[in-house]
Structure 1
Amino acid sequence: MTTPLQVTARLREPVTIEDHARGPSNAPVTVIEYGDFQCRFCGAAYANLHELLRQRADTVRLVYRYFPIANVHPYAERAAETAEAAAARGKFWEMHDWLYEHQDQLDPVHLSLGVEQLGLPPDELNGEVERGKFADRVRRDFVGGIRSGVNGTPTLFVNDVRHDGGYDLPDLLAAVDAAAND
């Protein structure tokens, strides 16, 4: 009797300098997250990934890619494009953190207030988002996620291999430690 081969999903779009990364560039473990700023599960993973980076500061680099599920989360795409507009001004991670820490305030009015809190020009950013200036970047991440087998959020890859375990802190620590020792 033969058993079916278990196919492990692999990242199809390699990490590049255009990706948003936090942590040492030469870290032995890279965790890639495909996330949606309005997804409550991504919000839960956010706190755990933040703590993972704190506990494994020399071991882990976190890469964030956009995967807004617009048919479920009506503000996710706008939030992603706003994060990219902030990135163009050197404030991606500040915007990223604000978005996850204010998930219940992603409507355009509150989003503008968040942009302003970060010291960014809200009218300018809103204009860029309205014109779709950063839509291609968000779409590129989304399509890359589809090509890599992403079908929900959050989806994590650890050193280019899909992490099908949980995203609570003990699971993440175990996955990172195992990858660091490979």
Structure 2
Amino acid sequence: MRMMTRNLKVTIVLAAVATLVVAILLVATRPDSAPAPEAAADGTPTVPAELLVREDSHRLSTAPDGKVTLVEFLDFECESCGAAYPAVEQLRKTYAGRITYVVRYFPIASHPNAQLAAQTAQAAAAQGKFEAMYTTLFDNQAEWGHQETPQRDRFLDYARRIGLDVPRFQADWDAAATNDRISRDQADGQQAGVGVQGTPTFFLNGKKLTIRSLDDLTSAVDAALAQ
């Protein structure tokens, strides 16, 4: 399997520095009543399934046997998430029908349009177009990411581009239900058992992964499938 580019490795290293700052901010708000981490057969801590995948979580790929589930907590504006996106898409193609891939929202406050991007994806999800908006946001991240002004006009154009009912999209955009849905994902990520401290954070069958390349990700998936 072809390795990720050197730029991806550099980006992920830089993101680790930002992660330390995010961790300090999250510790103060992390709930104290979180389910305790469990442990796999090899002693590796695992996260209770109910914290990682909710009934309404966005599944971009589904394995009928449910044997392997990969969960990503992401921020659409995060450069590391954008850098990992092509690898994740390749992984989904390679393991189509063999793994379940779940996306959870985790917008970072320091990214000016991260929350709005998550609202955009969730408003699209209300019309059954989450995946279309997910790919549109990442495919075009360079044109809207890290802009100091709200990117509403651009996101509205994306809604038109993927064929959404625009008035309904606009009604859902800032709706309480939309923001509550995003907040629930963030709350799950902040639970003591999950320990999301930055994005992207991946969990494979409940175990947090350390990813440096596509090979790391595919090796972990292969090992899980072989069990």
- Give TM class, smaller chain: 0.7 to 0.9
Which of 36, 39, 60 aligns to 2:99? It is: 60
Shift of residue 9, structure 1, vs aligned partner:
5.1
Shift of residue 27, structure 1, vs aligned partner:
4.0
1:137 aligned counterpart, secondary structure: helix
Amino acid corresponding to residue 11 of structure 1 in structure 2: V
Summarize the alignment of residues 1-182 of structure 1 with structure 2, pairs less than 5 Å apart.
8=44, 10-12=46-48, 13-25=51-63, 26-70=65-109, 72-106=110-144, 107-147=151-191, 148-166=194-212, 168-182=213-227
Q: Which residue of 2 aligns with 1:3?
A: none
Shift of residue 123, structure 1, vs aligned partner:
3.8
Residues 14-44 of structure 1: CA deviation (Å, up to 9, x unaligned): 4233111122243421110000000111011
Checking the alignment, whether the CA contact within 8 Å between 1:156 and 1:162 is kept in structure 2 is yes
Gaps of 5+ in 1: 1-6
Amino acid corresponding to residue 67 of structure 2 in structure 1: P
Shift of residue 8, structure 1, vs aligned partner:
4.9
Shift of residue 130, structure 1, vs aligned partner:
2.9
The number of residue pairs the alignment matches comes to 174
TM-score by length of 1: 0.88
Gaps of 5+ in 2: 1-42, 145-150
> What's the RMSD between the two structures over aligned residues?
1.7
Checking the alignment, whether the CA contact within 8 Å between 2:119 and 2:174 is kept in structure 1 is no
Distance 1:39 1:123 in 2: 28
Residues 125-155 of structure 1: CA deviation (Å, up to 9, x unaligned): 2332234430000000011011110010000
Shift of residue 109, structure 1, vs aligned partner:
1.2
Report sequence identity in percent: 36
